[in-house]
Amino acid sequence: MYKDFQAFLQNEIADIKEAGLYKAERVIVSPQGAEIEVSSGKKVLNFCANNYLGLSNNPQLIAAAKQALDTHGYGMSSVRFICGTGDLHKELEQKIAEFFGTEDTILYAACFDANGGVFEPLLGPEDAIISDSLNHASIIDGVRLCKAQRFRYENADVADLEKQLIDAKNCRFKLIVTDGVFSMDGNVAPLDKIVELANKYNAMVMVDESHSAGVVGHTGRGVTEHFNLKGQVEIITGTLGKAFGGAIGGFTTGKKEIIEMLRQKSRPYLFSNSIPPLVAAAGIKMVEMMSSTNELQDKLHNNTEYFMEKMSKIGFDIKPTASAICAVMLYDAKLAQDFAAKLLDEGIYVIGFSFPVVPKGLARIRVQLSAAHETEHLDKAITAFEKVGKELGVIK
């Protein structure tokens, strides 16, 4: 029976390869960091991790995780509501709520699960979800699982959002959903205008802070801090897998009754295992560190500013942003691939993105800055960009 299916899959895989869309994995043999070692033994400077605060290999988080292994063991072997809730889980939920200035938090195994499990328990067919067209795949999937009516607005386009809100005006409850930072352009959602429209049309707001928590805002509280909107959005989702340590785990934080209902009905929470205590312990340490000093956020912001300014000065076309994602626009898909390959030869690891990940004709290299980078790392990358840019005729 498998024979026919096997031939079918082999064909499909060949098509993916032919289209240049095949994703190969690069094997890393060192901890995550500014400099990583790949399996060939080559050391490269890493500019494509979501390790925004450099916490993936932070000694304090490692120590907290090791200690929790001794005091709380390795795994929970249970979902939260049976016997998978530890004191560390409760403490981390509280800490995350304090960090964002929200009322309560519910943890998930990943933000993919937080987004997958947030809509269906809360909204029904008489309600509306109004979603940004570039929202993360997990939001799109979560919306699909929910019976609410769907409205879509063009990326960060508040005029279009208003149109959709007018179209949805007869729905019982309306929820506007947006990523805080969009991963391909690095643009920040216009949350000030979104909240204004939500107030005008009696809608609620949900922000996914996965790429913005720890990054955007003076103290890294995300897009709600950037726009001074603490406590003014009903739902925030986020991940522990990016700036917040980079291991695993996700959360939904927000209004008390919303979180309470999710604990009753959210399927990824009810039917999937609890995160390991060591991850919760490291998460608690992470929030404590971020609450006691602004050192890492400041370093990240300085690094980002430094890199963007120098790259613009050299003549690269950079998308402006308040995030730590720097899109170096090259427009041509082949050029983006060649550029990334040449940078790797120079010891700089970045990824070129082209269609269908970004629109046709808008290929680019995405550079992700980190507090783990030192000025010498940034200078090395800028020099390499300049060299390859001249070689390929991108800059003069």
Ligand X SMILES: *Cc1c(COP(=O)(O)O)cnc(C)c1O
Q: Which residues are catalytic?
A: 183, 211, 242
Distance CA 383, CA 396 (A): 14
Task: Indicate if the alpha-carbon torsion angle 273, 278, 279, 281 is positive or negative.
Answer: positive
Kindly indicate which of the ranges 95-103, 110-118, 142-150, 317-325 contains the residues binding ligand X, using the contact rule CB under 6 A.
Answer: 110-118
Q: Does position 132 bind ligand X by CB under 6 A?
A: no
Distance CA 333, CA 363 (A): 5
CA distances to 50, 305, 317, 321 from 309, in Å: 21, 6, 11, 12
> What's the alpha-carbon Rg for the chain, to the nearest Å?
22
Beta-carbon count within 10 A of 88 CB = 22
Q: Does position 250 bind ligand X by CB under 6 A?
A: yes
The DSSP secondary-structure symbol of 244 reads T
Angle (CA) 27 31 32, round 5°: 80
Q: Does position 269 bind ligand X by CB under 6 A?
A: no
Contact 148, 118 (CB under 8 A): no
Residue type, position 69, single letter: L
Task: Rule CB under 6 A: choose which of 179, 185, 225, 234 binds ligand X.
Answer: 179
Shortest spacing between CB 182 and ligand X, in angstroms? 8
Q: Does position 239 bind ligand X by CB under 6 A?
A: yes
Kindly indicate which of the ranges 11-19, 78-86, 124-132, 205-213 contains the residues binding ligand X, using the contact rule CB under 6 A.
Answer: 205-213
Task: Rule CB under 6 A: choose which of 138, 224, 304, 370 binds ligand X.
Answer: 138
Shortest spacing between CB 211 and ligand X, in angstroms? 5
Distance CA 396, CA 393 (A): 7
Shortest spacing between CB 136 and ligand X, in angstroms? 4
Q: Does position 211 bind ligand X by CB under 6 A?
A: yes
Kindly indicate which of the ranges 62-70, 95-103, 106-114, 306-314 contains the residues binding ligand X, using the contact rule CB under 6 A.
Answer: 106-114
Task: Rule CB under 6 A: choose which of 185, 208, 225, 234 binds ligand X.
Answer: 208
Using CB under 6 A, list all residues that contact ligand X.
110-112, 115, 136, 138, 179, 183, 208, 210-211, 239, 241, 250
